[in-house]
Structure formats: structure tokens, C-alpha cells
């Protein structure tokens, strides 16, 4: 499974109402570190298929969700479980570190 693009309009349905944990990647096209972690998130999305959903929210096109969560820097990653934020981190990290963060959160 590849990462899913989520908008302000689909955020609740895709993230808060998900039956499995969701990693939300808040990113922007102009953000270098966001582009660095993109391939790792795609790989992790396939590896966690059916167990954890990984979605991406473009902050320039969808300002409401990041504003509600207090996102101040990107990339910002939020882990949701049962509709609630259970963990978050800001900044780029290698795939192994992202995988460890996901494993510890779920």
C-alpha cells in the first residue's frame, strides 16, 4: 500500500475514524527534509500494510488540520490511534528511526 493523500475534508474519515493506527505526515512541496523522508514513508507504508496506515497532508493546500494540531514545523509526524494523537515528532529521520518510533507507539 502506498501513502494516502489526505485533505482537510477527508482528515476525520481517513485519520480520526480509522480502525488501525495512522501516521500523518504534514509536509510541503518546498520542504527539503519532507522530501528526504518521503521514500522511507512509502516503504514503511508497504511494510505495515493492514497494520498501520501512513497518510500525507500538504500543509500549503490544507491548513486546517495542521493548525488544529499546532503544527509549527515540518515535516511533522503524528501517530493517531482510536482517533487520538498518541505520539508525534518533528523533523526528518532515517527509515530505521521512523520504524522504531512507529513500533514503540503501536
Catalytic residue among 6, 23, 24, 31: 31
Backbone angles phi, psi at 59, to 5 degrees: -70, -25
User: How far apart are the C-alpha atoms of 37 and 71, rounded to whole Å?
Assistant: 17
Cis peptide before 17 (omega within 30 of 0): no
**Catalytic residue flag (residue 39):** no
Does residue 34 carry a catalytic annotation? yes
The catalytic position among 6, 23, 24, 34 is: 34
Q: Strand (E) positions, 1-106?
A: 4-5, 22-27, 53-58, 76-81, 84-90
DSSP letter at 52?
-
Task: Write out the catalytic residue numbers.
Answer: 31, 34
Amino acid at each position: 500500500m502506498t501513502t494516502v493523500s489526505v485533505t482537510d475534508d477527508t482528515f476525520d474519515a481517513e485519520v480520526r475514524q480509522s480502525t488501525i493506527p495512522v501516521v500523518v505526515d504534514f509536509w510541503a512541496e518546498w520542504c527539503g527534509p519532507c522530501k528526504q523522508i518521503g521514500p522511507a514513508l512509502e516503504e514503511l507504508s508497504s511494510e505495515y500494510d493492514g497494520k498501520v496506515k501512513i497518510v500525507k497532508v500538504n500543509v500549503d493546500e490544507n491548513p486546517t488540520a495542521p493548525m488544529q494540531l499546532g503544527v509549527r514545523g515540518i515535516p511533522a509526524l503524528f501517530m493517531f490511534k482510536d482517533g487520538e494523537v498518541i505520539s508525534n515528532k518533528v523533523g526528518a529521520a532515517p527509515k530505521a528511526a521512523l520504524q522504531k518510533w512507529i513500533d514503540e507507539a503501536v
